[in-house]
Amino acid sequence: MKAVKTEYIPRYTYNDYAAWEGRWELIDGVPYAMTPSPIIRHQKVCVNIVVHLSRLLKDCGKCKVLNPVDWKIDEETVVQPDVSVVCEDVIEEKYLTNPPKIIFEIASPSTAFKDRNIKYKIYESQGVKYYIIVDTYAKAAEVFQLENNSYKKLKDAQTDVITFDIDKCKVDFDFSVIWE
């Protein structure tokens, strides 16, 4: 069987994406369904990350922790990181337009390939300073830091404390608290 030519594959834009029901991501014009909803283990770890980061950043007047929110990179790419830290004075109400400083993606069997490959490259190319891929089953997180426009793996964190240095804020993130 011959492969389908890429010019025959439909491509979509942000305007198409904005009209769709349910949760989606759009990467290079290709839609990715974000359903079904994440399992409870995923949601618990996500909440723990948000709460921990929020406590650590409470005195930073500029940095904010966000649950899944659209980040419109261009007309054909819109992603929804599980947890983002943004450090901006003004945030567009509909979606983010600037790269977050920190992104946590909680990998599941259905998203692991996309998180470890496609999103990894997107976040790296867009200048996201820290990218953390969380494995709830192994209770481990791969922590990457952007250096010279490429990600360098800092650590496979389980109970480690990693310092994230973002803008004028420096936070010591304790990974042991997110597994509870």
Q: What is the percent of the chain where pLDDT is above 90?
A: 78
How far apart are alpha carbons 18 and 120 in whole angstroms? 24
Residue 39's pLDDT is what? 87
Tokens of 1: 């069987």
How far apart are alpha carbons 77 and 12 in whole angstroms? 9
Question: Phi and psi dihedrals of 29, rounded to 5?
Answer: 80, 0
Tokens of 100: 């977050």
Identify whether the C-beta of residue 126 lies closer than 8 Å to the C-beta of residue 112: no
Residue 109's pLDDT is what? 86
**Residue among 138, 141, 180 nearest 161 (CA):** 141
Q: Which domains does the chain have, with CATH numbers?
A: 38-178 (3.90.1570.10)
Question: Is the pLDDT confidence value at 57 over 90?
Answer: yes
Give the confidence band of 1 by pLDDT, cuts at 50, 70, 90: low
Mean pLDDT of 152-173: 94
Residue 92's pLDDT is what? 66
**Residue among 69, 86, 66, 67 nearest 78 (CA):** 69
pLDDT tens-place string over residues 28-39: 999 999 877 788
